[in-house]
Amino acid sequence: QVQLVESGGGLVQAGGSLRLSCVASGRTFSDYVVGWFRQAPGKEREFVAAISWNSARTYYANSVKGRFTISRVNAKNTVYLQMNSLKPEDTAVYYCAVRRSGPSYLDTEYDYWGQGTQVTVSS
């Protein structure tokens, strides 16, 4: 069992930045791939970014590539999502999730999820 808690969301103007954190407890965090997903009102949850257990590989949705950066510090059981040049269309609830196999773009392939943190970008 892994428990995940996201934080760092908030209200920001377009062009601004936020850094989300996902802190894990429970099983050995370094065993897991971590992904960030988001869900906007009335839309399905979508993949944002993922990172392998040793940070060697990172993956991004085309919509955030070049603006968002995923990173992790296993010693702190924490994964970060640095979000720069935010746009109103980035407004959503952001979730972190973990799985034991390789990175995946599919939310159904992740085993444990956090409660989410709201990000709102005003124009």
pLDDT of residue 103: 87
pLDDT at position 111 over 80: yes
Percent of the chain whose pLDDT exceeds 90: 89
For 57-90, how does the pLDDT look when each residue is reduced to its tens digit (9 = 90+)? 999 999 999 999 999 999 999 999 999 999 999 9
pLDDT of residue 92: 98
pLDDT of residue 91: 98
pLDDT at position 27 over 80: no
Confidence of residue 7 (pLDDT cuts 50, 70, 90): very high
- Whole-number average pLDDT of the chain: 95
Looking at 12-21, 28-37, 64-73, which range is the least confident one?
Answer: 28-37
Bin 2: left if φ > 0, else alpha if -120 < ψ < 50, else beta.
Answer: beta
DSSP string of 16-79?
Answer: --EEEEEEEEES-GGGSEEEEEEE-TTS--EEEEEE-TTSS-EEE-TTTTTTEEEEEEGGGTEE
Cβ proximity of 60 and 71 under 8 Å:
no
pLDDT of residue 31: 87
